[in-house]
Amino acid sequence: MNKTFNYTRRKTVSVPVGGIAMGSDYPVRVQTMTNTPTDDIEASAAQCQRVAYSGAEYVRLTAQGVKQAESIGLISRVLRSHDCNIPLIADIHFNPKAALAAASVCEGVRINPGNFVDPARTFKQLDYTDEEYQAELDRIHDELLPFIAVCREHGTAVRLGVNHGSLSDRIMSRYGNTAAGMVESVMEFLRVFVEEQFMNVVISMKASNVVVMVEAVRRLVDAMDKEDMHFPLHLGVTEAGFGEDGRVKSAVGIGALMAEGLGDTIRVSLSEEPEEEVPVASKLVDYMAQRQGHEPIEGDYSEGYDYLCPERRLTVEVNNRIGGSCLPVVIAGYRPDQLNDAELQPDFYYSADGLIDGMHQFLVPFNSWKGERNVYPLLTLGEWDLCPSGPLRFLQLPATTPASKLEFLRGRSDTVLVITPVGINIPGEQQALTHALDKAGINCPVILRNTYTDSSNEWLQVKAGADLGAVLLNRRADGIWLEAPNCHSGGEVVRYAFAILQAARQRISKTEFISCPGCGRTMFDLQSTVQRVQQATAHLTHLKIGVMGCIVNGPGEMADADYGYVGAAAGHISLYKGKECVEVNIPEEDAIDRLVELIKQNNDWREP
């Protein structure tokens, strides 16, 4: 039995953060981050109270310097005077002095291995001899010792938070801007903490690219296991974005890891008020906790499967549409006339009651199939022998079907399997069957058919994103069929299906927006700006566009983006083409027009 198919929490040490400990002996904790200026004591304290009342168990505040670190201490006094005891975590970049100051007044301090000792990255290639590189590691050791001493003295927890976009030039020169580089960046620091026997450490590995984030966390756990380390993990997709896209993207990335029992605290990073993040994260935690003690799922990985960095399952291409190298398809449980509000059209429609127009691709129950053009039967196992051969047929199977019953499918190039869940561990069941198929030599493409009865859009986004995303990120499916009979809009359900595929980087159907959630460093009204940038560029489905509140993580986190809009100073914006800053300190009122002009100058503009 492979533990990956079965939900059980990874065992970790316990880390006290104020009065709320985290680790595998405790529930998964929910946290968020303020977006008020930290020096505004009243506003920050009020926001901390609001997020505490909304269910957050920790709150993080930015501390650009010693003054802001001291302000967190004042905020703590205000909160404690109002009987609000939520632990406060200082967020530090580039400033060890601020970290020392914060460690004496906060319950936790987050430092970034990419910029705590190393200077700000410039994306330059640096060459080191082994001796020179060891000297850099010795410098990290020496500069961490005073910080560890202060944290030990005050009982302060430490979060080592690596961001894909803020790796140092030293790490990137040796390991590249990769998941492996992220792992080595944090392990260098972690080894010092272990050597000093300071174990109140939590680790986060974040990226706006969900695939990179998931790979980095898996590689970190593998690296820690090899060195007998068992520290708790904080999970999050950084710069996830706004609205439903941010929720889906977070559910896909965080949910995929939580499905494997990873994660001891999470944050859903949205370009919205922090109070809006907390319910989404709480839903994700509650949904995953329901799997505890589920019916065991038998099975093991198929030969050649790489858990750390999966490759797409090898399948036959059926009817030049599904499987092989084709993009994953979307099936909708609606007729075309029921999707008049749809922004994106599915590849196949399902119809149980007629209205087949011959212009679209349809699935119908076998007992309704008449062999019409562009209409394909959906069969059960009991109907298989009754169906004549054709170019494309769909065979629906419960996920618990033994592969031994499917041996007649070996060598077939006309059949797509539609897998439906049976128990509460949906991705575990569906993945186990795909591995059993591979072991049995059955290479039919697989569609995941998941049905959710929720009437809440946010619950649907969380559940479907977590379940479908887990299987897609492991490259085990060739399409998805999302059904939500109680959702008021079929168009929304189809849109969520495409959003899940995009979050998993399986199929791009719209502009990819990488936008930060905002914090006390943000240089403009983030929420309204994100919406205005989206309005101007949402039709550019071939581009990725970053909207970042400041330069701390902005240029790095959006290194994956084609263009970037970054806060440079109060009321001023800098524009990026890839990693290169091409326009500096543009007045905010002109910045979106200049962004559009920059896209046009580089021949990437398309008219709506």
Query: In angstroms, what CA-CA distances link 201 with 159, 198, 381?
Result: 6, 8, 52
CATH code, 550: 3.30.413.10
Q: Which residue has the tokens 């009865």?
A: 453
Q: Given this model, what pLDDT does residue 204 score?
A: 97
Mark whether 495 and 536 lie in a shared domain. no
Is residue 261 within 8 Å of 9, Cβ to Cβ? Answer: yes
Mark whether 517 and 499 lie in a shared domain. no
- Mean per-residue pLDDT of the chain: 91
CATH code, 382: 3.20.20.60
485, 503, 521 - which closes a domain? 503
Identify which has the larger pLDDT, 240 or 276: 276
Identify which has the larger pLDDT, 472 or 118: 472
Q: Is residue 299 part of a domain?
A: no
Average pLDDT over residues 461-476: 98
User: Residue 2: which pLDDT band, with cuts at 50, 70 and 90?
Assistant: low
Mark whether 134 and 257 lie in a shared domain. yes
DSSP-assigned letters across all residues of 330-360: EEESS-GGG-TT-SS--SEEE-SS----SSS
Residue 75 CB-half CA count within 13 A: 34
User: Residue 608: which pLDDT band, with cuts at 50, 70 and 90?
Assistant: confident
Dihedral sign for Cα atoms in the order 196, 202, 203, 207: negative
Q: Is residue 309 part of a domain?
A: no
Q: Is residue 319 part of a domain?
A: no
Mark whether 164 and 42 lie in a shared domain. yes
Mark whether 116 and 202 lie in a shared domain. yes
pLDDT digits (tens, 9 = 90+) for 271-330: 899 999 999 999 999 999 999 999 999 999 999 999 999 999 999 999 999 999 999 999
503, 534, 560 - which closes a domain? 503
Q: What percent of the chain has pLDDT over 70?
A: 94
CA 420, CA 403: separation in Å to the nearest integer? 15
DSSP-assigned letters across all residues of 151-218: HHHHT-EEEEEEEGGG--HHHHHHH-SSHHHHHHHHHHHHHHHHHTT---EEEEEE-SSHHHHHHHHH
Mark whether 478 and 586 lie in a shared domain. no
pLDDT surpasses 60 at 163: yes
Is residue 526 within 8 Å of 547, Cβ to Cβ? Answer: yes
Amino acid identity for residue 341 in this structure: D
Q: Is residue 590 part of a domain?
A: yes
Query: CA dihedral in degrees (60, 66, 71, 77; nearest 10)?
Result: 90
Is residue 465 within 8 Å of 503, Cβ to Cβ? Answer: yes
Average pLDDT over residues 476-496: 93
Which of 8-17, 165-174, 266-275, 556-565: highest mean pLDDT? 8-17
Mark whether 208 and 252 lie in a shared domain. yes
User: Residue 1: which pLDDT band, with cuts at 50, 70 and 90?
Assistant: very low
Q: Is residue 573 part of a domain?
A: yes
Is residue 450 within 8 Å of 426, Cβ to Cβ? Answer: yes
236, 271, 289 - which closes a domain? 289
pLDDT surpasses 90 at 502: yes
CA angle (271, 276, 281) in 5-degree steps: 100
Average pLDDT over residues 150-155: 98
Mark whether 251 and 356 lie in a shared domain. no
**Pairing of the two strands 88-91 and 58-62:** parallel
- Nearest one of 101, 24, 86 to 51, comparing CA atoms: 86
CA 244, CA 240: separation in Å to the nearest integer? 10
Mark whether 172 and 258 lie in a shared domain. yes
pTM, full prediction? 0.91
Report how many domains make up the chain.
3
Q: Which residue has the tokens 């009754």?
A: 386
User: Residue 106: which pLDDT band, with cuts at 50, 70 and 90?
Assistant: very high
Mark whether 271 and 142 lie in a shared domain. yes
CATH code, 225: 3.20.20.20
Q: Is residue 145 part of a domain?
A: yes
Identify which has the larger pLDDT, 467 or 527: 467
Q: Given this model, what pLDDT does residue 11 score?
A: 97
Q: Is residue 324 part of a domain?
A: no
Mention every residue, 6+ apart, whose C-beta is less than 8 A from residue 80.
none
pLDDT surpasses 70 at 419: yes
Mark whether 418 and 540 lie in a shared domain. no
Q: What percent of the chain has pLDDT over 90?
A: 71
Q: Is residue 315 part of a domain?
A: no
Average pLDDT over residues 192-208: 96
Domain that holds residue 381: 329-503
Mark whether 334 and 467 lie in a shared domain. yes
User: Residue 354: which pLDDT band, with cuts at 50, 70 and 90?
Assistant: low
